[in-house]
Amino acid sequence: MHVLAGTASTPLAEKISRELGNAPLGIPFTKRFPDGELYLRVEGDLAGEAAIVVQSTRTDGDLVELLLLEEAVRAAGAGRVVVVIPYFGYARQDRRFLPGEPLSARALCRHIEQDADAVVTVDLHSSETLRHFTKPAFEASGIPALARRLQARPVDLLVSPDRGGIARAQRMGAALGRPWAALEKKRIDSEHVELRFPTAHPPEVRGRNVVLVDDVIATGGTIVEAARLLRHEGARSVAAACTHGLFLRDAFERIKAVTDEVLATDTLVHPAETASVAPDIAAIVRQAIPA
């Protein structure tokens, strides 16, 4: 079994190769042509081998690299190709909100699975996206990785900033043996939200160590507002934990200013403290490639 690291996911690919018993790690050679197009070459003998391609698709360029990598690995004779997409870009456009829009998530699934035998993702915007793959497709959760990191710390309450994240806060609460709650969120625009405590059974946060749990931190608008609200209500400490740390523009600095700790998994490279999903991905890869 060989692990091939895309440039967007090299540190995570290294950890996955270690988790898979030090499976050989291939770092493809890449360069840019004068017109800006990507040149890529995989080295080493992949004939008949299982190849685990690891590449998040945060940018359009990352996506092109993933498609080239898959094609190269297949052409090099890999017996089985498992594509690991730790952060799956375009997953948020998983519905047609207006006529004429693309179902972006489905469009990507179709192309990505072309040269794959199985696909592994982590905390998709909606698990429904898995249904767009015709090959075996799996979704790991970032929650166990975050919980492993939080285990030794004082945590009294897990809070989801919106009702859509209740299952996440519940799962983290179960992993840490702590209660959970959810705020009510109204999105104003892509950068601003309004948050309030639920009127029925508002959680008691005064004097408690609260961890906000979310799937994605993008502009930081949600977490900054949530942290301010929890502090205003007397929380002793507020930490932010998410699976995908996009931290757009100055989001990380703004969140740091209103929280005691910022934690994100390694599906993306970011400046926050990191919790690794490598063991969780490796477990699924082993399942996708039966011995």
Site for ligand R5P contains 146 (CB under 6 A): no
Q: Are 112 and 85 in contact (CB under 8 A)?
A: yes
The nearest distance, CB 86 to ligand R5P, in angstroms, is 17
d(CA 226, CA 58): 25
- State which residue, 110 or 186, has the beta carbon closest to ligand R5P: 186
Q: How many residues bind ligand R5P (CB under 6 A)?
A: 13
Q: Find the helix packing angle between 251-258 and 221-232, rounded to 10°.
A: 10
Site for ligand R5P contains 49 (CB under 6 A): no
d(CA 151, CA 82): 31
- Of 161, 173, 203, 245, the one binding ligand R5P (CB under 6 A) is 161
The nearest distance, CB 103 to ligand R5P, in angstroms, is 18
The nearest distance, CB 104 to ligand R5P, in angstroms, is 15
Task: Point out the catalytic residue in the list 15, 185, 186, 256.
Answer: 185
Site for ligand R5P contains 65 (CB under 6 A): no
Closest CA to 281 of 151, 96, 121: 121
- State which residue, 125 or 231, has the beta carbon closest to ligand R5P: 125
Site for ligand R5P contains 9 (CB under 6 A): no
- State which residue, 115 or 162, has the beta carbon closest to ligand R5P: 162
Site for ligand R5P contains 165 (CB under 6 A): yes
The nearest distance, CB 262 to ligand R5P, in angstroms, is 12
Closest CA to 256 of 242, 272, 243: 272
CA 111 to each of CA 105, 148, 244, 267: distance values in angstroms, whole numbers, following the listed order? 10, 34, 23, 21
- State which residue, 72 or 218, has the beta carbon closest to ligand R5P: 218
- State which residue, 161 or 173, has the beta carbon closest to ligand R5P: 161
DSSP per position, 91-113: TT--S-SSTT---HHHHHHHHHH
d(CA 206, CA 126): 33
Stretch that binds ligand R5P, among 56-64, 157-165, 264-272, 280-288 (CB under 6 A): 157-165
Site map (CB under 6 A) of ligand R5P, residues 188-227, x = contact: --------------------------xxxxxxxxx-----
Stretch that binds ligand R5P, among 78-86, 126-134, 159-167, 203-211 (CB under 6 A): 159-167
User: Catalytic site residue 31?
Assistant: no
Site for ligand R5P contains 129 (CB under 6 A): no
d(CA 261, CA 251): 14
Sequence-ordered strand ranges (E) for the chain: 2-5, 25-26, 29-32, 38-41, 50-54, 80-85, 118-122, 137-140, 157-160, 180-182, 184-187, 193-196, 209-217, 237-245, 261-265, 273-275
Backbone angles phi, psi at 242, to 5 degrees: -140, 165
By annotation, the residues acting in catalysis are 185
Q: Which residues bind ligand R5P (CB under 6 A)?
A: 161-162, 164-165, 214-222
